[in-house]
Structure 1
Amino acid sequence: MTLLLSTSIKAQDIFDIVQYKARGDGKTINTKAIQRAIDDCAAKGGGTVWVPSGTFLTGCIYVKDRVNLHLSPGAVLKATPLLSEYDKKTMALVCLKGVQNAAVTGTGMIDGNGGSFSIVEEAPDRPYVLLVEGSQHITIRDVRLYHSARWTLKLFDSDQIIVNGLRIYSHVNHNNDGIDIDSRNVTISDCIIDSDDDGICLKSEQPGRMTENITITNCVIASNCNFIKMGTGSLAGFKNIAISNCVLKAAAESPFWKWHKIVKGVTDTISGIAGIALEVVDGGVMDQVMITNISMTGIQTPIFMRLGQRKNPVGVLRNVLIANITARANSLIPSTIAAVPGFQIENVTLRDMVLQHTGGGTLEDVTRKIPEQETKYPENRMFGHSLPAYGLYVRHAKGITLDNIRFTLAGNDARPAIWLEDVQGISVRDFVPGNGANPSTTIRQVAVTDFRYNNVWEQ
C-alpha cells in the first residue's frame, strides 16, 4: 500500500466512516461505526480513515497501526457524555495505545465536549481529547482540539512523536492543560494553545523513565496557569530539553481563575501564573535545559524554579540556560530560583533579558521572613504574595550567572532588585535595575560567597 502520509493515497486506501454507517447529524452515537472503519483499515494493511464534514458524536475510538485518522475541513468528532462509551482504563476520546506508525491529521476538529462531564477538579470520570500511550512513530498534525473535559493532548510513555500545527482551545472544565508530555524524542512546533490550565507541561510520572530529548518551538501559548512548565510530576526527571521562539500571552477567557481577587498585587483580570516554571519536587533530575527567545505578557512571574521535596528525597536541578527573554509581569512575585535548605539549584544562566515589573513593594515586603515551604506544592505564590526583591529572588543555589539583565518598573518599589540568600558562586554582568526603584541596595546579599560582578548600575 502507499505510505501512511503520502500525498498520493490510492482510493482503495481510504476508508470513509460514512460508508460504515456513521452519521454526522450531531445526535447519532457513532463509536462502533468509526471503530469498524479503523479496524478494517488496519486489517487491510493501513491507510486513511476519512472523517468528512459533519458532526459525528462518538465515545472512545482506538487508532491502530499504520492508520491515519484524517479529519477533513468541517469535520467534527464530538465526545458523547455517556460514560458507557468510554474505556474506564483509558478515558480518552481518541486513543493511540500501543501502536506504531499512526497519525491523526487534517484541519477538522476533535471536540471534547468537556462541559458535559463532571466539572470538578481532579474528577476521574473525564476523558482526554487525545491520548498517545505506549506508542512509537506517531504524527499529530493540523487538527483542532477543543473543549477538553481534562487534559487536552497527553503523550505518555511514547517515543518519536511529532506534533505540528495544532490549534488547542480548552476553557470549559478544570485541569484543562494544553499539551502534556511524558515521553521521549518529541517535537512540538507551530501550535497555538489557549488553555485554562498549564499550556505545555512536561511531566515525569514513572520512576526510572526520563522525559528526554524534547524540542518545542514556534508556538503561541495562552494560559491561566503556567505557560511552559516542567513538573509537578518529576519522579525520574527531565533531560536534554530545548524550547525556543514562543510567544506567551493572556488567555482569551478565565472561567475558573480570578487571580486579581486571589493574589494581592495582581490587577489584570486575566493572567497566568509563571511564564516558565521548572520544578523538581519528587526526587528526579532536571539537567540540560535550554529555553530561548520567549516573549511574555499576561504573566504574574516570568521565571519560577523550584527544587523541593514532597514525599521522595530531594532531587537535582542543574545546567539550565534561559536567554533572550522579554516579559511584562503583573504581580509582586518576582522571578524565583529556590531550593530547600541543605540542597542547591546548580549552574543556572539567565542572559539577555528585559523584564518589566509593576512596582509597589514595601519595606514590610523586604523584612518579612520567607518560609521554606519544603513539602508544599510548587507555585509562584508558595512563599507568599510578595518577596523581598522586585526582580529576582534566589535562595539555596550555586553557580548562578546573570548576564545582560535589565529590569524596568512601572512604579516605585522599596525592595532591592535582586535578593541573594545562601548562594555560592554568582556572577553578575551588565545589570541595570528598574529606573523607578528606591531600594536601600540594588543587590541584597545574605550568606553569599564568591560574588563577582562587572558593570552593575547602582542607585
Structure 2
Amino acid sequence: MKYSIIILVLLFSSFNVSSKDIDVTKLGAVGDGKTDNTLTIQKAIDECAASGGGTVIIPTGVFVSGTIFLKSNVSLHVNRSAVLKGITKLDSYPGAHFLEKGFIRVDRVENVTIEGDGIIDGSGDQQIFQQGEGGNNRPYLVHVRKSKHVVIKDINLRNGAFWTLRLFENDDVRIDGINIYSHGNWNNDGIDIDSKNVIISNSRIDADDDGICFKSDGKQLCENITVTNCIIGSNCNPIKFGTASHAGFKNITVSNCVVQRASESRNWKWFKEIEGVTDSITGISGIAMEVVNGGIMDQITISNISMVGIQTPIFLRLGSRNNPTGSLKNVLISNVVANSRSLIPSIISAVPGFYIENVIIRDVIVNGIGGGTVAQANKKVPENEKGYPENRMFGNTLPAYGFYIRHAKNISLDNIQFFLKKPDFRPAIVLDDAHKIILRGINAPNPGGNQNLVENKNSDFKVIQ
C-alpha cells in the first residue's frame, strides 16, 4: 500500500511538473492604470511556455500594456476585478500592416485560451486611435491568426481601436460566453471570422460596426462554422457575410440569435442620410450575405432569428465589385421575425448574366413602416454592378415593400407575412429577370392604386396558396 501511494504521488508530481501558473504581479507588474507592463506580462507568458505551458494571471487592478503575444499551451486569465488595458502609444503595437497589428496576439500557435470574467480594454476611444473610417494604423483588440485549438470564453472585450475580435486563417476556435461592447471608434466590428471549424455560442455583441461578420480575405474558405444563442446589436449589419469574399463561405449555420438596436451610435446617423428612416439608431440589414470578390457562397442555413431596429431584414448580393463574379447558392433562411424601419425592403439581387440560385426563405414575419408612394413604385433601379454592397446601393427606396428580387433562379418564398403601419403604393414583391420563383402562402396587404401585389418583369413565377 505504501509503495502504491508513493507511485501515485510521483505520477501526480510528474503530471504537473510541466505546467506553471504565474501572477504577473509576482514578476513586478503594477495594476495602477499608468505603468507600462508590456515587458513584464510578456515575460510571464514566455516563462509559462518555456515550462511546458500554464496560466498567466492578471489579478485585481488596471494593468496597462502594449501588444502581448500568447504562446502555445498558455492560458491568459483575467480576473473578475481586473482590467488589461491597451496603452495609448501607436509604436507599442508592432506590425508592418494593420492586418498584423493587435493588442492581444495569438499568432501561429496552438492550444491557447483567453478566459476570465475580467475586462480587456483597447482604449479605442482615445485620441491617438481616432483616425476616421478605414484608418489603418490601429490594432485589433484580439487578433487570432493562423493558429489551432484556441478557446476564448467568459471574457469582456471593450473599446477596440479597430475590429474587436479578429479570427484569420485559424483551425478549431471555440468562443463561448463572451461579452463585447465596442463603440469608441470607427470600424468597431464585433467578431470577424475568416477561419474554419469555429463554434461561437452564448455571447453578446454590441458594436458600432458589423456584429458577427464572416469574411474571406485570402485563399482559405471560411467554412464549417456554427453560431448560436447570441444577442447582437449593431449600427451596421448584425449578421453579415462579406464584404471580403475572395475564396468564399461554405457549410455555415447561424441559429437562435436575437438582433437588437445598438446601445449607442456615435458615428452613424442613418436617419439624416436615408429617406424614410426616422429612428435615431438602426442597423442596416439584419442578415446580409454578400459575394462581390469572385468567391462562392454555398450551403448556408440561418434560422430562428428575431430582429428589431434594422432597416432591411434580408440582403443577398452577388456582385462584381473588384473581381469576376462568383456564385451564391443553396441558402436556407427560416423562422425570422423582423421589424423593418426603412423603405428599403429585403433584397435578392445579382448582376446581369449571373444569378443567385437555390434559395428558400420560409416562415417569416415582417412588420414594416409602409408609406411608399406611386413614384417610388415606378422607380427605375440601377444595376450598380461594382458598388459597395449594402441595402441602399440601389437607392434609399425600392419599388417593393416586401422583397425586391432580380437576377435570381429557383427562389422559394414560403409562408411569408407582411404587416404595414401605413398604406403603401408599392407591390409586395417585385421580380425582375427572376425565374422558377415559387410564392407559397404569401400574406400581404394589397398596395394602393392599381398596383399588383406581385410585379413581374421578364420573370416567371408560380403562386401556391
TM-score range, shorter chain: over 0.9
Q: Of 418, 440, 443, which residue of structure 2 is paired with 1:429? A: 440
Percent identical across equivalent pairs?
52
Residue pair 1:410, 1:436 contacting (<8 A) in 2 also: no
Change (3 A) 1:41 1:420: same
Give 1:435 shift: 6.8
Give 1:363 shift: 0.8
Match of 1:100 in 2: 110
Match of 1:5 in 2: none
Aligned partner of 2:315: which letter?
Answer: F
1:29 aligns with 2:31: no
Change (3 A) 1:373 1:206: same
Classify the secondary structure of the residue corresponding to 2:300.
strand
Match of 1:418 in 2: 429
TM-score (norm 1): 0.95
Count of equivalent residues: 446
Classify the secondary structure of the residue corresponding to 1:34.
helix
Match of 1:69 in 2: 76
Give 1:88 shift: 2.2
The higher radius of gyration belongs to: 2
1:42 aligns with 2:49: yes
How many Å separate the matches in 2 of 1:192 and 1:273? 19
1:232-381 equivalence runs, <5 A: 232-381=243-392
Match of 2:195 in 1: 183
Question: RMSD value over aligned CA atoms?
Answer: 1.4
How many Å separate the matches in 1 of 2:23 and 2:31? 12
How many Å separate the matches in 2 of 1:439 and 1:137? 60
How many Å separate the matches in 1 of 2:448 and 2:379? 19
Residue pair 2:216, 2:247 contacting (<8 A) in 1 also: yes
How many Å separate the matches in 2 of 1:248 and 1:298? 8
Residue pair 1:359, 1:413 contacting (<8 A) in 2 also: yes
Classify the secondary structure of the residue corresponding to 2:25.
helix
Change (3 A) 1:10 1:292: farther
Classify the secondary structure of the residue corresponding to 1:358.
strand
Change (3 A) 1:349 1:12: closer
Is there any run of 5+ residues in structure 1 with no aligned partner, and where? 1-7
Match of 2:177 in 1: 165
Give 1:87 shift: 1.1
Change (3 A) 1:439 1:413: farther
How many Å separate the matches in 2 of 1:56 and 1:119? 25
Alpha-carbon deviations, 1:172-198, whole Å to 9, x = none?
100000000000000110110000000
Alpha-carbon deviations, 1:207-260, whole Å to 9, x = none?
3x1100010000000000001000000000000010000000000000000110
Give 1:143 shift: 0.4
How many Å separate the matches in 2 of 1:380 and 1:272? 11
Give 1:119 shift: 3.4
Give 1:454 shift: 1.3
Aligned partner of 1:383: which letter?
Answer: F
- The answer to which of 121-130 and 25-34 deviates more is 121-130
Q: Of 110, 119, 134, which residue of structure 2 is paired with 1:109? A: 119
Give 1:10 shift: 9.0
Residue pair 1:242, 1:289 contacting (<8 A) in 2 also: yes
Is there any run of 5+ residues in structure 2 with no aligned partner, and where? 1-14
How many Å separate the matches in 2 of 1:193 and 1:118? 22
- The answer to which of 182-191 and 439-448 deviates more is 439-448
Give 1:434 shift: 3.1
Match of 1:3 in 2: none
Match of 1:215 in 2: 226
Match of 1:193 in 2: 205
- The answer to which of 85-94 and 66-75 deviates more is 85-94
Give 1:13 shift: 2.4
- The answer to which of 432-441 and 13-22 deviates more is 432-441
How many Å separate the matches in 1 of 2:322 and 2:44? 46
Residue pair 1:413, 1:438 contacting (<8 A) in 2 also: no
Change (3 A) 1:437 1:407: farther
